[in-house]
Amino acid sequence: MRYALVLALVASPALAGPQEAIENHILPNLTAFTEAAGALDDVAQANCEADALKGPYNAAFDAWMRIADIRLGPSEQGVLTISFWPDTKGHTQRTLKRLIEAEDPVVENQKDFAEISVAARGFFALERMLYDEDYSDYGEASYACALTRAMTHDLAQQAAALENAWREDFVPVILNPGVEGNTTYLDETEVVRAIYTQVMSSLEVTADTRLGRPLGEPTRPRPSRAEAWRSERSLANTMIVTQSAYDLAVELADWELPETAAAMEQVHAAAEKIEDPGFQNIDDLSSRFDLEILQQAIDGVENALEAELGVRLGIQPGFNSTDGD
């Protein structure tokens, strides 16, 4: 007994960070997303019209953004099938058009629907159906209604499957590094680095992609590249995902992060100045400036975390999925 106790004492402080990050942050947020996606689908099956769905759609999207940038384990693929963005080649409009013109019967079978292009699944396909005037004016008996229902049902199923895959398959792997047969994580440092990489790449993606893509060049802003601009969620997505990255870092750290907390306050202050939640006014120089300030504030959180968490842990972020082009 005494021997086991000593082992436990030695092992637990090192694992406190990852365990808290997963049990206090990732898993509860996965559950909340499952519930919100289920609620959206319940409403859609009763009434598929766009105006009826906007409320629960936004609630589900809010819940998703809390875990949208976690690309570990089952989320590596799940992220792409739930929120396919950026869509640099216009896949979503092309795929939806093809489905609707052909009245493709794939919407009648959820199993088949789960096999179609990710461009017609998840939040960004739904956004077109609910907010793009070329699509949103559909009635109960239409093909578009059936398509929308297939999308919400697919999303609810994906949410439940993702949560289940984490709880059943992945948590035992990530919380038991170094045990026999675990080739994914050989020791606790690898787990800490993996979670730290999620935090840092989320902040990087938000500054460089969520804000950087619409900002474009000073002389050539690109408002239509803002994330979820049709539903005017660009600012909300930015803020939720940034807050969530911070919350995850707080769970991972076993100490206070005062500079990071101060940097987060700067993010909130900068966000309050943003007038258009869909970033469609950035042709205007002063509005553009406000968005640049927000971008710099998010960079500030990343820098503070690197110093307060990364340097102190003695780790660097690993490779992330946006390392390519």
Contact predicate 32/123, CB 8 Å: no
Report d(CA 40, CA 22) in Å as an integer. 25
Residue 55 structure tokens: 């409320």
- Please, what is the minimum distance in Å from the beta carbon of residue 80 to another protein? 5
Query: What separation, in Å, do the N-terminal and C-terminal C-alpha atoms of the chain show?
Result: 54
143's tokens: 């093909």
| Residue 219 backbone phi and psi in degrees, to 5 | -90, -5
Residue whose C-alpha is closest to residue 69's, from 269, 215, 210: 210
Site string for another protein, 150-189 (x = CB under 8 A): ----------------------------------x-x--x
Give the shortest CB-116-to-another protein separation in angstroms: 6
User: Which CB atom, from 56 or from 300, has the smaller least distance to another protein?
Assistant: 300
Nearest-approach distance from CB 1 to another protein, in angstroms? 31
Task: Closer to another protein by CB, 61 or 196: give it.
Answer: 196
Token pair of 119, please?
């461009």
Residue with tokens 């101060």: 262
Q: Evaluate the CA torsion angle 88, 163, 183, 255 in order and state its sign.
A: positive
Q: Which listed range, 22-30, 49-57, 115-123, 151-159, lies at the site for another protein (CB under 8 A)?
A: 115-123
In the region spanning residues 80 to 99, those forming contacts with another protein, defined by CB under 8 A, are 80-81, 84, 86-91, 93-95
| Spatial separation of the C-alpha atoms in residues 201 and 19, rounded to whole Å | 20
How many angstroms separate the CA atoms of 244 and 289, rounded?
25
Residues 6+ apart with CB under 8 A from 17: 192, 195, 251, 252, 253, 254
Residues 199-258 that bind another protein (CB under 8 A): 216-217, 220, 224-225
Helix (H, G, I), strand (E, B) or coil at 217: strand
Cα-to-chain-centroid distance, residue 300: 20
Site membership for another protein, residue 115 (CB under 8 A): yes
User: For another protein, which is the closer residue by CB, 56 or 177?
Assistant: 177
DSSP 8-state class, residue 163: H
User: Cβ of residue 280: shortest distance to another protein, in angstroms?
Assistant: 12
Per CB under 8 A, does 111 bind another protein? no
Min dist CB 322 to another protein, Å, is 6
Of residues 94 and 167, the one with the C-beta less far from another protein: 94
Give the residue with the Cβ less far from another protein, 38 or 206.
206
Beta carbons of 171 and 70 less than 8 angstroms apart: no
User: Site residues for another protein, window 51-80 (CB under 8 A)?
Assistant: 76-77, 80
Q: At 5, which helix (H) or strand (E)?
A: helix 2-20
The nearer residue to another protein, 32 or 245, going by C-beta atoms, is 245
Nearer to another protein, 24 or 91 (CB): 91
Q: Is 319 in the site for another protein (CB under 8 A)?
A: yes
Return residues touching another protein (CB under 8 A): 76-77, 80-81, 84, 86-91, 93-95, 112, 115-119, 184, 186, 189-190, 193, 216-217, 220, 224-225, 259, 299-300, 302-304, 306-307, 310-311, 316-325
